[in-house]
A and B are shown apart, each in its own frame.
Chain A
Amino acid sequence: MKPRYAPYFFLAPFFALFGVFMVYPLFDSIRLSTYSVRGMQNQTFVGLENIERLIADPLFWTALWNTAYFAAGSLLLQLPVALALALLLSNARLKGRNLFRLSFFSPVLISGVFIAVIFYLLYDRRYGLVNRVLGSEIQWLQDPDLVMPALVLAGVWRWAGFNMVYFLAGLQSIRQELYEAAAVDGAGPWQSFVHVTIPALKPVIAFVVITSMIGSFQLFDLPYVLTEGGPGNASMTMVMYLYKHGFEFINLGYAATIGWALAVIIGVISIIQVRLFGVFREN
């Protein structure tokens, strides 16, 4: 066999699987989003009706709002926590820091369903640890105003340690001379952080912000197990809504439309973030 063909043969299995399980479903879901699907085989072409229905569907907007709330909460709460943990645990004088790093990282090794069960117990009104510590009887998961903040906190617990690892890697790559030079110029710890650490971490921050945002918009397992989207629909997320239509109501056309709406939203937000951070800009 001619060597120049060899790479194609090695790559063929990947592309065959990618084509069958990713590309084909992706394009078929575009077709599907223009159909009304009722039952196992019954498909009727409806053109853009699913999009019209989506725009007029109040539950879709509720799900979008909840998802955006979670994403914003993750950005504003989780990433500062992750960065603060990374700064603390990058301190060479801290004893047992590897143990701390492992401890903070470990929640991401646990399945989302299990985390949901843990938080279900933690948030219980009468017996939950959170209320015991606060000395209150707050209905974290039954109050429509509190359920999303409760989910955001669970998300922080789950993902902050994971993002901490990216920040730690970023911090370790900052050259010590930059801090020394800043100190010579009279910069204190805060000024060093603002003018050395943050600019040097910019690519890592960009990566973490973009991937966290994408992950947040795909939120499913935590609310699915913890609240089933309730109370009412106060914690319904877009992927949960998609799942309901796709797998509970067998309304695959509408589910495909929700899926594409989600993809467009994630795409637009990601592009804005990429531009804001100047990710692909040289220097």
Chain B
Amino acid sequence: MIHLGKAPLIFGLLFLLAFPVIVFRGDDRSDTLEFWIFAQTHYDEFSARIPAFEAAHPGVKVELRLISKLHDKLLAAFLSGIGGPDLSEVEISSVGRFFKGTKEEIGFVDLTDRIEREGITDEFVQARLAPWSLGGRIYGLPRDVHPVMLLYRHDVYEKAGIDPASIETWDDFVRETRPLARDDDGDGQPDQYPIMLSAHKPGHFWLMLLQNGGGMFDENGGVIIDNDIAVSTLEFYCSLLNEEQLAIPEFSQDPASYAAMKEGIILGVLAPDWYISFARRFVPELEGKWRAMPLPAWREGERRTSTWGGTMIAVTRQAENPDLAWEFAKFAYMDDEALANRYRKTFIIPPIRSAWSNPVYTEPEAYLDGQVLGRSLTDLAPDIPGFYLNPYWAEANDLLRQAVYEAANGIRTPADALSHLAEQVRALRNNTTETE
């Protein structure tokens, strides 16, 4: 047999020593802030800001980490109690899963008192704090407002003699744009559609529902997704897709929808601020042909916008120095010039009212035929609807997808689909432990 001497012993000891060092990093990291983000554009934005923060806080180092599947990994860190960052971004469609269980189990630091102490509560668009709050406590700073407008082909409208100013309500929209849904080739299907609405994903319906004053839960956690507002909104939504044939059943972020826009098949899109920059990027051919108008209201004189998407920054309870993390959160999210730079690239409006006085928001936008988009967005921003988060948000949102699919494809009537959905969400609530 080969004589191995002490090699195995040394090898084994090295492993035993290395294992805890790898797993439990023992170094003092109280002056290091680890910040998890999920988007490359956010990474680029914050990378540029970090040197200034580090210069203002000598000895502090900010480690920016672009994390794929961030929400799964953050959740794993919360469940295990180790390995989480000091700060993290969270996207609005994933936030519900972090608010399960009791308040003590929520992995984010309650920022309510800090925000109040800073006197910045009123600075924010109030509706924008709601998605990051539970039981009246705020767990994250909003990064955006995402007011929604209707992106429309003004060249086509002009040719057809449609005055956008005459479209004040959704009924006006149906009446005015009906002539645009033409069937030139006689195949029984329109060759161009005034609007794009998904028959499989709930995003478009959700923003129309919020605009109409509906939602999934009320402020007390009651299920309201089967009330009259929700039913009439879904009925209207389905009628645009089916009876009226004014809506093409596509989803705004699919490559096919960009191709259909280029071909002139899609003439209108429900567009939050960020989506307008997507259109500029993916459909540059239509520069100067689009313009954006406020959403048609459900009833005359009512809300002309909605909201879609969003991100927050949160301090985690695993942060070794939450005060320092809070300082960075404010620094990262509330600097006027950084927010103005972001607007130039993404059209994203900040949730802080004082930032809107920056001249960048009055610049004409060539993609929209010289329209002053920033001002239109900031005018609408204070009016965006809020909605209430709930521990069953993730499940309810998943069930909403099914309900919209069933109603839009004629499997159930809108009333039946929503009633079935509400029943399932209520059952969830009755079967599970609630956040106190």
Contact = CB atoms under 8 A, between A and B. Distances in A.
B433 A38 contact: yes
B358 interface: no
Given A16-B15, A232-B405, A38 B395 contact: no
A247 B1 CA distance: 51
Contacts of B160: none
Interface in A8-59: 9-10, 12-13, 16, 36, 38-42, 44
B409 interface: yes
Interface stretch (A80-88, A124-132, A157-165): A124-132
A270 interface: no
B11 interface: yes
B105 interface: yes
B3 A121 contact: no
B4 interface: yes
A220 to B, nearest CB: 13
Q: How large is the interface on A (under 10, 10 to 19, 20 to 34, 35 or more residues)?
A: 35 or more
Contact of B101 (A38, A233, A249): A38
Contacts of A177: none
Nearest to A4: B1
A226 B12 CA distance: 46
B255 interface: yes
B28 to A, nearest CB: 26
B338 interface: no
B63 to A, nearest CB: 24
Nearest to A230: B200
Given A16-B19, A40-B79, A249-B395, A230 B256 contact: no
A99 interface: no
B97 A40 contact: no
A12 B14 CA distance: 12
Given A5-B8, A9-B8, A232-B402, A250 B256 contact: no
Given A12-B12, A127-B256, A230 B4 contact: no
Contact of A248 (B12, B398, B402): B398
Interface string B388-413: 00010011001001100110010100
A6 interface: yes
Contact of A121 (B72, B255, B409, B411): B255
Nearest to B259: A127
Interface centre among A1, A5, A128 (most CB of B within 10 A): A1
Contacts of A230: 200, 401, 405
Nearest 9 CB-CB pairings of A with B: A39-B101, A9-B8, A39-B100, A40-B105, A9-B12, A39-B105, A6-B8, A38-B433, A42-B101
11 contacts: A1-B6, A6-B4, A10-B11, A16-B15, A40-B79, A40-B105, A124-B254, A127-B255, A231-B409, A249-B97, A250-B97
Given A9-B12, A120-B254, 4 more contacts: A1-B5, A39-B105, A41-B101, A44-B433
